[in-house]
């Protein structure tokens, strides 16, 4: 097994041609693209060692975050149900495979193209480089903790990436590097591994993780009257309507076809949902 594959190391420039430098480390020669910088014979160059898709031994000075023994984010480029998923770690001519053995047994929970996965590299006895998913212990090490008494997070919107998909719930790392949990009762469908989700904070667990919900607040499910008012606002050039809670009930019924009480409920619904605002003389689309 080549111990250098998937690592950053220093190698000596021993030769060159029109396109590549030849760099050597412990008797093994690698190609370094000349577009990455100028070097002289005898220079020591620090770079990342890998084997490209054509099985050429390569070095690049553009160091990827993902390496042997080091975790970094990768982007899914292709899914093969018979093999696993291919991910991009930043190499120009090499993608890394995450084996199906390391992915959820339920294939509908597998990542899709452009999803994100936190991985490290591992080299097997045949010098094949595999991506290995970060486990719970890694996420515990790299994330922040919150006090269960913290109140400021309630109802805040957070975005994050699913790193563990289970029947009982979904585990997420937020963009701000907090851990979050979505109970099965707080999701309309089960998110897949690597999927980006947007949720609402509903509490903080005793372990200092966020509890979030993917379900909307009750008031975000707007009524037909509210939908109608929104549609009318959107049709106006200035997105404004000269009606408010002091308007004449007959004027409201004449224009909207609903009672003043219905109008006030619908407007309250939209105000809570931050879809409109009250301005002098009426309501305006946000």
DSSP 17-82: -SSEEEEEETTEEEEEEGGG----TT-EEEEEEEE-TT--EEEESS--S-BBTB-EEEEEEEEETT
Give per-residue pLDDT as tens, 162-173.
Answer: 999 887 899 999
Q: Confirm or reject CATH 1.10.10.10 for domain 220-285, answering yes or no.
A: yes
Give per-residue pLDDT as tens, 65-92.
Answer: 999 999 999 999 999 999 999 999 999 8
- Spatial CA neighbour of 151 closest among 204, 198, 199, 200: 204
Lowest-pLDDT range, 48-52, 60-64, 97-101, 273-277? 273-277
CA dist., res. 29 & res. 24, Å (int)? 4
> Which CATH topology does 72-134 take?
OB fold (Dihydrolipoamide Acetyltransferase, E2P) (2.40.50)
The reported pLDDT for the residue numbered 219 is 46
Both tokens assigned to 248: 């004449």
Residue intervals in the chain for CATH 2.40.50.140: 72-134, 143-213
Residue 152 has pLDDT above 90, yes or no: no
Instruction: Write the CATH number of the domain with boundaries 143-213.
Output: 2.40.50.140
Give per-residue pLDDT as tens, 1-29.
Answer: 577 899 999 999 999 999 999 999 999 99
Give per-residue pLDDT as tens, 165-196.
Answer: 887 899 999 999 999 999 998 988 899 999 99
What percent of the chain has pLDDT above 90? 76
- For residues 105 and 151, which has the higher predicted lDDT (pLDDT)? 105
- For residues 40 and 222, which has the higher predicted lDDT (pLDDT)? 40
Tell me the pLDDT band of 218, cut-offs 50, 70 and 90. Answer: low
Residue 150 has pLDDT above 70, yes or no: no
Residue intervals in the chain for CATH 2.40.50.330: 8-60
Asked if residue 73 lies in contact with residue 115, where contact means CB atoms within 8 angstroms, the answer is no
Q: Which CATH class is domain 8-60?
A: mainly beta
Region 270-275: mean pLDDT is: 86
The reported pLDDT for the residue numbered 196 is 97
Asked if residue 181 lies in contact with residue 210, where contact means CB atoms within 8 angstroms, the answer is yes
Question: Rounded mean pLDDT of the chain?
Answer: 92
Residue intervals in the chain for CATH 1.10.10.10: 220-285
């Amino acid at each position: 097994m080549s111990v250098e594959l998937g690592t950053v190391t220093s190698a000596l420039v021993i030769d060159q041609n029109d396109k590549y430098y030849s760099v050597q480390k412990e008797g093994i020669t690698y190609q370094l693209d000349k577009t990455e910088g100028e070097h002289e014979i005898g220079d020591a160059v620090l770079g990342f060692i890998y084997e490209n898709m054509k099985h050429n031994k390569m070095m690049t000075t553009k160091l990827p975050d993902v390496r042997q023994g080091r975790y970094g984010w990768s982007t899914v480029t292709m899914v093969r149900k018979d093999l696993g998923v291919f991910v991009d770690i930043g190499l120009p001519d090499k993608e890394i495979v995450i084996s199906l053995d390391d992915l959820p047994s339920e294939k509908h929970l597998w990542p899709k193209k452009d999803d994100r996965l936190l991985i490290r590299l591992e080299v097997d006895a045949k010098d094949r480089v595999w991506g290995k998913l970060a486990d719970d212990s890694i996420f515990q090490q790299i994330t922040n903790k919150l006090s269960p008494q913290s109140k400021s997070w309630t109802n805040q919107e957070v975005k994050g990436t699913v790193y563990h998909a289970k029947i009982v719930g979904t585990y997420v790392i937020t963009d701000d590097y907090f851990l979050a949990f979505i109970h099965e009762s707080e999701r309309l469908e089960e998110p897949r591994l690597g999927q980006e989700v947007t949720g609402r904070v509903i509490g903080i667990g005793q372990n200092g993780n966020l509890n979030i919900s993917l379900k909307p607040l009750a008031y975000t499910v707007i009524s037909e009257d509210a939908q109608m008012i929104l549609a009318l606002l959107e049709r106006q050039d200035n997105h404004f309507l000269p009606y408010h809670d002091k308007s004449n009930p007959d004027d409201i019924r004449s224009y909207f076809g609903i009672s003043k009480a219905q109008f006030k409920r619908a407007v309250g619904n939209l105000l809570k949902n931050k879809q409109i605002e009250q301005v002098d003389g009426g309501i305006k689309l946000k």
